[in-house]
Structure 1
Amino acid sequence: MTVMAEHTSQMQVEEFEEIASKAPETVMLEFIDGRIGVKSMPDGDHATITMWLIRQCIQARPDLDLHPEQGLKVGSYRNGRARADGVLAPVAHLAGQGEWADPSGVLMVLEVTSYDEDTDRRDRCEKPSAYAAVGIPVYLLIDRDSGTVVVHSGPDQEGARYRDVHTSRFGEKVKLPEPVGMELDTEILKNYVP
């Protein structure tokens, strides 16, 4: 019989929010699964990819906004805080919600991998689970390490994972399922990887 150790949180979410509010603008903090983490500041290619996706969304879905670097309440009972590279929601949906928005009504979150030691754990493991847990329909991961676009969709009823995961190479056309309902031509992404 395997006994799982009970995970304890490093601090209360209110303590994290206090620390995050006092962090310099050059530091982005997250609080996922009871642990505080530092998110790398985006490099030029990372920011360019985010801006490319903003333009794609505006052209294909002018009824939606893609908010860069938006904080979201994630995790069990909202006791986590993730700062997504992009949050897609109806126009003005996040107005008045402050730094850490409620994820209800969010259609998609975007993450672009950074070249740091925490990317694998954070963007490929923890965040898909956290975003699925709060019922965000689509998680789009632009993985610069592998040159792929990974579309996670259909969060399961238990909220532990996404049921559908589709991986495409940079250069392929990628369909973002409903409720996003658009297609991306990812050829340009080849320009933003080493």
Structure 2
Amino acid sequence: MATHTHAPECADEQALLDGFHKLHTPEGYRAEFIEGEIVVSPPPFGKHEKIFSRITRQVIQKAAVEMDVSGVKGLELARGNHCTKNYVIPDGVFAPLELDLFEVGPSWMPSAGVAMVLEITSSNPDRDRGVKRHCYAKAGIPLYLLVDRADQQTTLFSEPDVGREDYQADVRFPFGKPLLLPAPFDFSLDTSDFS
């Protein structure tokens, strides 16, 4: 009888993932499991939350389709080049209200039905610019809005290419210039007070 064993790196990653699921973080901290690494982030501060608030308010008031919004919803995403899935908490998750994804979903929900995710850079902007972008594209999330505070620009990634684990299109505008959010949002996002 043949037995199947995991490669040592997969066994190590699985052990790390098991530890991640048992992790207790201080109040307000976020723990994520991204591409085989546990990432713990402190609570966001001032400017970060101001930008989140401005975007959320505009989406609720202006989107062509009523949206549910969460700033704490964990997404269980397809694995990339690693053995296990990714467990990511975007700064914002937007889904059509009619889908009611947040009420019935578990702590870590699949990304099916999510219209857009939002990241606002803070202490590690390269993670948002790179690895998280690839995770969201691999999961097929249609839109990824990146507010890059260090570069003073807003970028909308679209047309996810699951095979390439990246988005095929992106538009970048400096803070102060409106950014058109396509369907199901269909409005121009005002970024004038992001800086």
TM > 0.5 between the two?
yes
**Partner residue in 2 for 1:87:** 93
1:74/1:134 contact within 8 Å kept: yes
> What is the distance in 2 between the residues matched to 1:7 and 1:63?
47
> What is the distance in 1 between the residues matched to 2:50 and 2:117?
17
Per the TM alignment, residue 177 of structure 1 is displaced from its structure 2 partner at its CA by 2.1
User: Where does structure 1 lack aligned partners over 5 or more consecutive residues?
Assistant: 1-5
Q: Number of residues paired by the alignment? A: 180
Match of 1:23 among 8, 22, 25: 25
Per the TM alignment, residue 40 of structure 1 is displaced from its structure 2 partner at its CA by 3.2
The alignment status of 1:136 with 2:141, answered yes or no, reads yes
Per the TM alignment, residue 157 of structure 1 is displaced from its structure 2 partner at its CA by 4.2
Q: TM-score by structure 1 length?
A: 0.85
Q: Which of the pair has more CA radius of gyration? A: 2
Per the TM alignment, residue 178 of structure 1 is displaced from its structure 2 partner at its CA by 2.5
1:72-83 equivalent positions in 2, closer than 5 A: 72-76=75-79, 79-83=85-89
> What is the distance in 1 between the residues matched to 2:157 and 2:9?
28
1:108/1:180 contact within 8 Å kept: no
Q: Secondary structure at the match of 1:172?
A: coil
1:71/1:84 contact within 8 Å kept: yes
C-alpha RMSD of the superposition: 2.0
**Partner residue in 1 for 2:47:** 45
Per the TM alignment, residue 159 of structure 1 is displaced from its structure 2 partner at its CA by 5.1
> What is the distance in 2 between the residues matched to 1:165 and 1:31?
26
Residue 67 of structure 2 aligns with an amino acid whose one-letter code is L
Q: TM-score by structure 2 length?
A: 0.85
Percent sequence identity is: 34
Relative distance call for 1:40 and 1:127 in structure 2 (3 A) is same
> What is the distance in 1 between the residues matched to 2:130 and 2:162?
18
> What is the distance in 2 between the residues matched to 1:168 and 1:45?
19
Q: What is the CA deviation profile of residues 79-112 of structure 1, one whole-angstrom value per residue up to 9, with x for unaligned ones?
A: 1101100000022222121321110000000000
**Partner residue in 2 for 1:60:** 62
> What is the distance in 1 between the residues matched to 2:90 and 2:27?
16
Match of 2:116 among 92, 108, 113: 108
List 4+ stretches of structure 1 deviating above 6 A. Answer: none
> What is the distance in 2 between the residues matched to 1:8 and 1:39?
25
Match of 2:153 among 130, 148, 152: 148
